Structure formats: C-alpha cells, structure tokens
Amino acid sequence: MKAVCWMGKSKVETLTVADPQILNPHDAIIKITRTAICGSDLHLYDGFIPTMEAGDVLGHEFMGIVEETGKAVTNLKRGDRVVVPFTIACGSCAFCKKQLWSACDNTNPNAHLMEAAYGYSGSGLFGYSHMMGGYAGGQAQYARVPFANVGPLKIESDLPDEKVLFLSDIFPTGYMAAENAQIEPGDTVAVWGCGPVGQFAIASAFMLGAGRVIAIDRLPERLQMARSIGAITVDYSEEDVDVLTALKDLTGGMGPDSCIDAVGLEAHSSDLKGLYDSVKVALLLETDRPIVLRQAIQAVRKGGTLSIPGVYGGLLDKVPFGAAFGKGITMKMGQTNMHKYMKPLLNRIQQGQIDPTYIISHRITLDEAPDMYKIWRDKKENVTKIVIDPWATKQAA
Amino acid sequence: MSDALKEKPNAESLPKSNGAAVLIDGHYAPPPADKDGKLWVRTSARIEAEPQQCYDIWRDLENIPSWQEEIVEVRRTGEKTSHWVMRSGDKTIEWDSEILADEPGKRIAWHSIAGDAQNAGEVIFEKAPTGRGAFVTVLQEFRMGKLATAWETLIGRNPKQAVIENLRHLKAMAETGEIPRIEPQPHGQRGTVGEMKKSLYGEKVPVPSGTKERVSA
C-alpha cells in the first residue's frame, strides 16, 4: 500500500510499504477512505517529538471501511464505516473505566520509554513516535486498529466522510479544551491559536455557553474563519498590539474567565522572549517554546481556568508559576479522552448544530502530502486544514 | 495507633507488613540494593481483576511462554519442579526451578535449583485497598551469570526490565486478554540509525503471543 512516511526532520515521503495485518484478537484492518494532516504532525515534521524513527508511517486522523476483523471483534464487521480515534484504549483498565481513555494502561507496547520520561505511560497513539506506542499511522491506504470493539465509531447515517472525519481528533480535542475551560454561562473565553483545534475550541466554547470568545492568531485567513463563527479577533502581530492589554481592554480590565492555549510547544512570537526560547531550544537547553503558555497564565483572570489542548512534549523554561499560584488559577490539560466525546459530537453534527467541514482548505492525494507538509509548515497557501483521499490519483477539485 | 484521628471514612486497617517487604511495621521499605553479584528487582501492578485470576495466570506454568518474554518452554518435571527454556536469537539457556511456597490466590515463591540460571523470587497477589482490583508485587533476585548476561546482551533489555515488562504483560492479559504489540507492521526503510535504535524501542524483543491460538478470524 501507499503510506506517508517520516524519514527525518523536515523530510516526509510517500512510499510503497507492506499492508498491515491482524496481530491481536481485538484488531481490525481499516481500508482508509479519508485521512488528514494534523497541526501536531508538524511537531513531528519539525523534529520536536523524540523517538520518531525513519520509516514510521504518519497520520492519526483517519476513517474508513472495515476490511477484516480479529476473532475477538464483536462490534464491527466487514463493510462497516468507522471513524477511528487517534488514542488507542483497551476499555477495561482502571483508567478507561474512569473515562480517562487517553491514559489507558494497556495500549502502549513501549510504555517503558514513556515511563522513563513522564513517570507513567499514557495510551498508545497512531503515528506519533515510538514513545507513544510506535503504531503505524493512518496517512496510508490501510491501517491496523487495535481494540476495535472500543475505539472505532460506526457511522450509520449517510453523512459524507468529510463531515465526520474530524471526530478522529481535532473536534473532540477542541471540545475537550472548551470543557476543560470550565465555562459558565456568559463567560468570556480567550483562545490562542486559530488553527483547526482552536477553531473547534471556539465553536465548542460557544456551544458550552460562552458569551464572548476572543481569538488570537496572526494569519488573516484563520482570524477571518474565527470571526465567521462569531469570535472577536486579535492579531498579535499587528504593530502596537499587546495581547495582555488587548485582553484587558476587551474584558473591562478583569481578564478572560478562561484561557485556551491551542498552540502548544512551537509558539511563535515576534518579541525578545520568543528569540530567547528559539535560542534555548537550538542549544538543547529547552525542548518547548512556551510563549503562549506564559501569556495565558498572565492573562487569565484571578481564579480563572487555563485549558491546554496544545501539545507540550518536554521541558519548559521561565513558566510564571508564581502568577499561576498568586491568582489561584486552575489548569487542565492532556491528550483528548477521545472515546468520551465522539458519540455526543457525532450527534451534534447529525442534528446540524455544526458542520466541521468549514475548516478544510485543501484536498489532496497521498503523493501530494510531502509537499503539503512543507507548505503548511512554512505557512504558505493559506492552509487551515488538509484532507487526503488516499485512493485519489490526481488532485481533486 | 492513637485515636487522635477518628474520621477516616474509607481508610483500611493498615497492614503491619505485606508481601515482598514493601511495608514493614506500617512504614515503606525500599527494595533491596544490588550487591555481591546479586541483582534485585521489585515491581508491582494494580490490575482490574481478582487476585485469584492473576494467580491462576501465573500458576499455569506451561502457559508462561505466552506472556513472559523469551521463555519458549516451561515443562513440569515434578509436583513442585519445572524445567525452563529461554531462547534469544540462536542462544538458548535452560534451568530447573522449584516452587518453595504456593498459597492459591495469594503467593508463589520459587528458586532455581540447577542449570544456567540462578534466580529466586516471590510474587504476591493481594486485594488492592478499598477493593480496587488486585495488587500484584514481584520481588526477584538474580545472580550474575548466564541468565542475566544473556538477557542483557542478546535482548538489549536488562533482566530487571524484563521482570517489569513481564508483569506488564500479565496485567494486559488479565485485563484485556491480549498483549499490545506493533510488530510486524508496515514501515519505510529504517536506515542504519533506525536499526541501531531497534533495541531501545524494544523491537528486538518479540512480544509474547498472549495466546496459543491464531488471532485472525
């Protein structure tokens, strides 16, 4: 089959590799009909996530048709259409039972690597480094899906693939970010980063009762998209714009009730603090660039909540923990507990509350994927979301 | 214990001491330190199962190759004795083991009696506090010898880590009926560095089958 492989930092290739096979009784093989490139894939592209290995198949947002099932799979049969969550969960460990699906105990074959770095291992993920399980990803024509009774969400309506594809990661991730923000009716919520997760965090904040959402980014097409669903926008790159001042100006000096960092470890900044982090990362003195995190801790109101869906991987420097303590803020974060959100969010889509396709900017083939990684990383061609048809041979309209 | 604190709605009566010497007189005790050519490992897992179920998996000696790494055969040779075969690449080591204590649902202790390996250990099966599944604790010691050396050089995993991984496999078996694995799976050319890193990622150690049967339908 064809698959998009990580071949080193800033190097991605579409190669012909072996087809996946059933390895365990609860496995299923999915023939992938739609897949996507995630903003977090750019962290892999840029070499920020350790334990990627040349040859690893990328991709963790995918859906398709069940092709084959292992002998213990009872929920699915050949021909079913499913969306696959990017976190793999067993459904029977103590964490799955608590709905902390992304903390599953039994799905990371390389748990020892993550234990060394984080103390304990989270669940395995598709296509996201050996530390996170080493599972081959879904930017491919087929994928092996473990614990198929637990993860894949069956789509029985005639909704087109594109409308449900983002249930595989970014819609639930944006939704959990808004849920973690502990929004009370009428609250003001600030969202850093208006990429796909930020967009769904904005949409979800409104769905969960926010009165005002303030969206912060620098790319005009993303800010426009945020305005299109009702957010106030702040372009931090505009001359004389100071985000903290802007947020005070927009909240009567009180600060947002909740702040959502939908940027994560590769934040950009035009000021000196940004340069400081770039230098430290280059010298391996720091792994992440926590520019947004610092700003959000400063910005949130006293007793407010900071929700962090943006990915952080390692060690952060100069995090103003005194401000966090001094204001008594709550911080909530983590990989998305996918399995908890997929069905309720599918219902919202089916009821017409939201059409997630509004974020799609590019539709491509597998062969075009390597170029698109570069184009997106370099923030060219106004990319917001790239969807791949793994069976298309030339670019669709 | 004084009665200074009377409001402890969910507290269990504190065990004075427990298996594998984690607690002595209500106080935590660290695992024994390595010395004089003896390596110790102590590891524990909380498992969503009854202690008896975990005991049953462990006590089914002939089935041990389905969840312990690199063990290819365990053969009963007597009421309390068994013969163990471990294979890694083209190297094979064999030893005999004797069960010293066997308390169904609670505890198994053993030591090696002959062959290429000198090891001894015990595994304790307890109810976790407030009934939250089982605590399984393994305390094992090795003498440096063919066993430890073979493990370390051939498998790229030291024997301590192997004990930890085996308990992880037991937990996965008890909770899900399978052991997570990724090999063999599709990938592009690994390159030289990738080959070298294979042992780091545990990809040189075949994950035990987790089952005696074929897995596809």
A94/B132 touch (CB, cutoff 8 Å), yes or no? yes
Domain membership of residue B211 (yes or no) is no
| CA–CA separation, A287 and A47 (whole Å) | 10
Q: How far is CA A42 from CA A230, A265, B105, B139, B209, in A?
A: 28, 11, 50, 44, 35
Q: In chain B, which among 42-81 make CB contacts under 8 A with chain A?
A: 46, 48
The parent domain of residue B117 ranges over 35-180+188-197
Q: What is the pLDDT of residue A83?
A: 98
**Contacts with A94 from chain B: Cβ below 8 Å:** 46, 48, 132-133
- Relative to beta strand A142-145, strand A28-37 is antiparallel
Domain A171-333: CATH architecture, name and number where available: 3-Layer(aba) Sandwich (3.40)
- Among the CATH numbers 1.10.40.50, 3.90.180.10, 3.30.1540.10, 3.40.50.150, which is that of A2-169+336-389? 3.90.180.10
Quote the minimal CA–CA distance from B19 to chain A in Å. 23
Q: Of the candidates A53, A93, A97, which has its C-beta nearest B194's C-beta? A: A53
| CA–CA separation, B140 and B91 (whole Å) | 23
| CA–CA separation, A122 and A106 (whole Å) | 9
Query: What ipTM was predicted for this assembly?
Result: 0.89
Please classify residue A275 by burial: count the beta carbons closer than 10 Å to its beta carbon, then call 0-12 exposed, 13-18 middle and 19+ buried: exposed
**Contacts with B164 from chain A: Cβ below 8 Å:** 112
CB distance from B100 to chain A under 8 Å? Answer: no
Domain boundaries, chain A: 2-169+336-389, 171-333
Task: Please state which of the ranges A4-8, B101-105, B209-213 shows the lowest mean pLDDT.
Answer: B209-213
Domain membership of residue B75 (yes or no) is yes
Q: What is the pLDDT of residue B7?
A: 85
The stretches of chain A forming alpha helices (DSSP H) are 39-45, 94-97, 111-118, 161-164, 170-180, 196-207, 220-228, 243-249, 272-282, 291-299, 321-327, 338-350, 369-377
**Mean pLDDT, chain A, whole residue set:** 94
CB distance from B153 to chain A under 8 Å? Answer: no
**Contacts with B165 from chain A: Cβ below 8 Å:** 112
Quote the minimal CA–CA distance from B162 to chain A in Å. 11
A264-318 pLDDT per residue, tens: 887 776 565 566 676 666 666 666 778 899 999 999 999 999 999 998 887 888 8
Q: What is the CATH number of the domain that holds B97?
A: 3.30.530.20
| Residues in Cβ contact with A98 at an 8 Å cutoff, skipping those fewer than 6 apart | none
Domain membership of residue B1 (yes or no) is no
How many CB pairs below 8 A link A and B? 138
A312-328 pLDDT per residue, tens: 887 888 899 999 999 99
Task: Please state which of the ranges A11-20, A318-327, B144-153 shows the lowest mean pLDDT.
Answer: B144-153
Q: What is the pLDDT of residue B201?
A: 65
Q: Is B27 left (phi over 0), alpha (psi -120 to 50) or beta?
A: beta
Q: What is the pLDDT of residue A394?
A: 74
A189-208 pLDDT per residue, tens: 999 999 999 999 999 999 99
Q: What is the pLDDT of residue A276?
A: 65
Q: In chain A, which among 62-91 make CB contacts under 8 A with chain B?
A: 68-73, 90-91
Q: What is the pLDDT of residue A269?
A: 64
CB distance from B173 to chain A under 8 Å? Answer: no
CB distance from A57 to chain B under 8 Å? Answer: yes
Q: Are A192 and A262 in contact (CB under 8 A)?
A: yes
Q: What is the pLDDT of residue A397?
A: 47
B181/A24 touch (CB, cutoff 8 Å), yes or no? yes
Q: Of the candidates B190, B207, B214, which has its C-beta nearest A109's C-beta? A: B207
Scanning every residue of chain A, which has its alpha carbon at the shortest distance from the alpha carbon of B217?
Answer: A71
- Relative to beta strand A153-154, strand A81-84 is antiparallel
Residue to mutate among A24, A104, A110, with most B CBs inside 10 A, is A24
Residue B217 pLDDT level (bands cut at 50, 70, 90): very low
